[in-house]
Amino acid sequence: MHSFQDNLDKYAALAIQLGVNIQQGQTLVVFAPLISGEFVRKLVKQAYEVGAKHVYVEWFDEEITRLKYELAPDEALLEYPMWRAKGYEELAENNAAFLYVVANNPDLMNGIDPKRIQTASRTSNTALKELSVARLTNKVSWSIIAVPSPSWADKVFPSLPEEERVDALWNAIFEATRADRDDPIQNWKEHSAALDTRAKRLNERQYMALQYRADGTDITVSLPPEHIWVSAGNTNSNGISFIANLPTEEVFTSPLKKGVNGTVKSSKPLSYNGNLIENFSLTFKEGEIIDFKAEKGEENLRSLIEIDEGSHYLGEVALVPHRSPISNTNLIFYNTLYDENASCHFAIGRAFPFCLNGGIDMSQQDLQNHGLNESLTHVDFMMGSADMNIDGILENGEKEPLFRNGDWAF
């Protein structure tokens, strides 16, 4: 049995050595909420110990963010501090790594006008587009990890005594990220190799399309010629490996923009910009979302879909077995980093250039010509379930089982 501090230290080491994989003389930028101060100090210490040159921490506070939405004038939501955006671009140009620490309150923006949130999202996404492109093209190393906040823990463990909830969420995070193992880094290398095997098989088959069937879901997703399935590990432009999501259980690729037809039903709530969108469905025709419904948060779903032209289309399809370490906890985390790794998922918005053979070196126009979607946003939502069957469709029309009853069929 490892102590809490042991697990915390191992979690920090995972994030620095495996997540962003800091190299000698490299700069690290950490984005983190104020409540994560103790843990962020461990991250900074670990980064310097493995050779970082600079570690810059960008602090934020969700309550201050909410106050801006409540009290700032409308024109403030149309402005972003470009000195900050240009600073991040310069850091990316100079091979900095970016680590995102999240502790989101899933209900933070309850009662805020979705149109104000949409305006601010569009503004920040536009200003930060170059940094986003650097991440999504794997030019830089980057990773996302989570730490508990009281409001998040309250949502995940409402039946526990209040004083036990944060500790319970820490334990769930340690388990899901393998930080509670004797040798988490070695365990992750073995896990990553197993995911690589799945991706290799899918890349060899080069399915023309995937057909999904489950309760409320009946959808076919076409894939671009020479698409590439990717698993846990990525490699940046300098040939350095990193793992963008801790935890991760997925293999994923990008679909053909105008090749999605049918209806998909969500299987878990989507936490989007401080609001929960629950029990929703999307209907696609020739790739475009032509209809949508949600039991809760429909206007927030609308604000996501209407960010730009590309947010009416998909940018990612990901395969995750229903029986995974995260799914087996039987928890809804109300946090996409965790819930997406307990369920097959799609993403609305921008596609990944590295999911196309030669895509990293293509212009945006070339990527679009090859059928990849472009958007200011990229938001994952969960649609996998225990009853989901997925078939891969070959060029000759033959079907092969990929998933049966929510799990891999090969």
| Angle, helix 82-93 to helix 129-136, in steps of 10 degrees | 30
User: Could you give the C-alpha distances from 282 to 255, 292, 383, in angstroms and in order?
Assistant: 16, 5, 11
Q: Specify the pLDDT at position 57.
A: 98
H or E segment to which residue 123 belongs: helix 114-127
Phi first, then psi, for residue 162 (nearest 5°) are -55, -40
DSSP 194-263: HHHHHHHHHHHH--SEEEEEETTEEEEEE--TTB--B-SEEE-TTS-EEESBSS---EEE---TT-EEEE
Could you count the other beta carbons within 10 Å of the beta carbon of residue 358? 12
Q: Specify the pLDDT at position 327.
A: 86
- Per-residue confidence in pLDDT tens, the chain, 410 aa: 789 999 999 999 999 999 999 999 999 999 999 999 999 999 999 999 999 999 999 999 999 999 999 999 999 999 999 999 999 999 999 999 999 999 999 999 999 999 999 999 999 999 999 999 999 899 999 999 999 999 999 999 999 999 999 999 999 999 999 999 999 999 999 999 999 999 999 999 999 999 999 999 999 999 999 999 999 899 999 999 999 999 999 999 999 999 999 999 999 999 999 999 999 999 999 999 999 999 999 999 999 999 999 999 999 999 999 988 888 888 999 999 999 999 999 999 999 999 999 999 999 999 999 999 999 999 999 999 999 999 999 999 999 999 999 999 98
Phi first, then psi, for residue 268 (nearest 5°) are -145, 155
> What is this structure's pTM?
0.93
127-133: Cβ within 8 A, 24+ apart? 127/80, 127/82, 127/85, 128/80, 128/85, 128/88, 129/376, 130/85, 130/88, 130/89, 130/92, 131/85, 131/88, 131/89, 131/92, 131/98, 132/350, 132/376, 132/378
Amino acid at 155: K
